[in-house]
Chain A
Amino acid sequence: MRVSSRVLVLVCCAVILTAALPVWGQGGSRPVLLSGASAASVIQSVLSAPTLVDYEGTKILTAVRGEQAETVTILESYKRFGKLRLEFLSPESTSGRLIVDDGASSWHYEPSLHVVIRGPSFVTTSTRTDASAILKRYEARVLGSEQVIGRQTLVLELLPKEGRMTRRLWVDQATGVVLRTEERSQGGELLFSSFFSRISYSLNLPSALFRFHLPAGAKIFTFFLSGDPTQDRQELSRQAKFAVRAPATLGGSYAFQSGTIARHGALMAVSLLYSDGVNIVSLYETPSSKMAVPVLGTSMAMRNGRGRWLDLGYFRVVMWESGGISHAILGTLPAESLVAMAEELNTVKP
């Protein structure tokens, strides 16, 4: 009787381990995604991955800024749910930088300055977005399967229905983790790429890895810049003490999500968030009497005057002044799309 109980326990353990292996991704006996999976199911597996799997790997990012490209190598560790550790390896200007995000706050340690900067978490494991919401705004298709660092992936292409830029994601069939990403302009130019050169999956990375330990003697800064978000645009005008231009939509498909008052030292700006369901565009407004138009980037002609254009690689910024208000619009969209939004905004009455 005792022997048969032991056998039963062993059988149960074997069943649990067999079920866990595909999720872990090392065994790969039954992948999360099958070869003929639809775009919707690939998207859903990407959205679910942060709640299913822990991993650590070496990631290489490349962002193009004008004629130059910057490549950054990072050790990335992720633990469910929403814990992230990033150790920067290269280039030299970032080497040694550490980010520990415990899902509530992020801690940034800069060893060359021996400073720690604490701020809000930037990891979300929100499962509110589902594949159908994305497919309303994006055309998605599975281009085929490819091997990336020895793992079988499905290549997903996402194209906004309004054109603009394309994303390609190489999604690990076993885990749903994106092993490689590419973003290209409408003309096919590469804007951003990231890929893992090595990855290990784990059922449970140690929690201690995601706990920040303050280095002795380090100076601490705390940056929580924005107030509470609101969807009431009149309330924003009241808080900001000027008439805020906050149209319900921008560029046709970007809908107003929320607004906050961002403060840092002498700066006070109204921050407005627009989304097409996936991609985010931010708009900032502040009275010209409180903030001059920054002398950065290059001067550019707009329909109602001049503005400034700043290419930060992945992010692009258009800054201009209109009706006594300094504006800045930011996003990953191409220049022409951001300028069109800026010109559209100039026609909006506060």
Chain B
Amino acid sequence: MGHARLERQLSAFLDNELTADDAQEVRAHLETCVACREELQRLEHVKRLLGSLPERAPAPQVWEELRERLDAQAPRESAGVLEAIRNAFRRPALALAAAAIVVLLIAVPLVKGRIDRLRAAEVGPDVFVREHALSAVADPFADRAYVGLLVTDANLVLISEPRSRGSVR
């Protein structure tokens, strides 16, 4: 790092705001650079002086003026947003599109939930039969051929191609 850049970092070095590596680099530079050492001394002096000054609260009217200015800005911004919405609704196509989006956002999860509930009721018995048949092989006397028939019949229903006889429907 060059002299100019290290010199700019002296203030941060003084306030312990540098990383360990950068601080080490500044420290090494200070050992060889008289100008930077003097600059650091000057900064330390200024810091000491500033530290010795008493703290003073701002005058009450400063806060009042600031608040008035903030209040004056806020309505202007919210009025801008409201105006934009009003403008949008003056165009019927935009208003319809917005309403449709709102309806869709509400309706889609509701409809999907209902469809899923009905679909679950539709496939449920076949899933249960298939799972039960697969579990039933733990019975040492279960007929594996019949278990195979039940499992495969349920498979067909689950791919929406039920056999005419044998599945639960």
Residues of A at the B interface (CB closer than 8 Å) are 46-47, 59, 61, 63, 70, 72, 74, 76, 84, 86, 88, 91, 93-94, 97, 99, 101, 106, 108, 110, 113, 115, 117, 119-120, 122-124, 126, 129, 134, 158, 167, 169, 178, 181, 192, 194, 221, 223, 225-226, 262, 264-269, 271, 273, 275, 278-280, 282, 284, 286, 289-296, 310, 312, 314-315, 317, 319, 326, 328, 330-332
Contacts and interface: CB of A to CB of B under 8 A. Distances in A.
Given A267-B124, A314-B146, A317-B125, A296 B168 contact: yes
Among B115, B122, B129, B152, find the residue whose CB has the most chain A CB atoms closer than 10 A: B152
A269 B136 contact: no
B62 interface: no
A317 B148 CA distance: 19
Interface residues of B, number: 48
Contacts of B42: none
Given A291-B121, A292-B117, A264 B158 contact: yes
Given A167-B141, A280-B138, A310 B168 contact: yes
Nearest to A115: B159
A110 B119 CA distance: 24
Nearest to B127: A264
A115 B124 CA distance: 22
Nearest to A68: B165
B139 A94 contact: no
Contacts of B147: 122
Contacts of B143: 61, 181, 192, 194
B165 to A, nearest CB: 6
A94 to B, nearest CB: 7
A84 B137 CA distance: 13
Interface of B: 113, 115-125, 127-141, 143-152, 155-156, 158-159, 161, 163-166, 168-169
- Which 5 residue pairs across A and B have the least CB separation, nearest first? A266-B116, A291-B120, A292-B121, A267-B120, A282-B132
B161 A99 contact: no
Nearest to A156: B141
Q: Is the interface of A mostly helix, strand, loop or mixed?
A: strand
27 contacts: A61-B149, A70-B165, A70-B166, A76-B145, A84-B144, A97-B152, A99-B152, A101-B148, A119-B151, A129-B140, A158-B141, A169-B141, A226-B131, A262-B128, A266-B123, A267-B123, A267-B124, A269-B128, A273-B135, A280-B139, A282-B128, A284-B124, A291-B121, A294-B124, A294-B125, A317-B125, A332-B136
Given A291-B121, A292-B120, A293-B121, A46 B137 contact: no
Nearest to B154: A223
A123 B140 contact: no
A311 B54 CA distance: 93
Q: Is the interface of B mostly helix, strand, loop or mixed?
A: helix
Contacts of B146: 61, 63, 72, 192, 194, 314
A72 B146 CA distance: 9
B121 A280 contact: no
Contacts of B155: 108, 117, 119, 221, 223
A120 B124 contact: no
Contact of A315 (B113, B116, B129): B129
Given A61-B143, A76-B145, A292-B118, A269 B129 contact: no
A70 B124 CA distance: 23
A212 B144 CA distance: 18
Given A47-B140, A119-B151, A310-B168, A290 B117 contact: yes
A324 B165 CA distance: 33
Contact of B137 (A88, A124, A158): A124
B129 A278 contact: no
Nearest to A108: B152
A341 B163 CA distance: 31
Contacts of A332: 136
A65 to B, nearest CB: 9
A59 B149 CA distance: 12
A93 B165 contact: yes
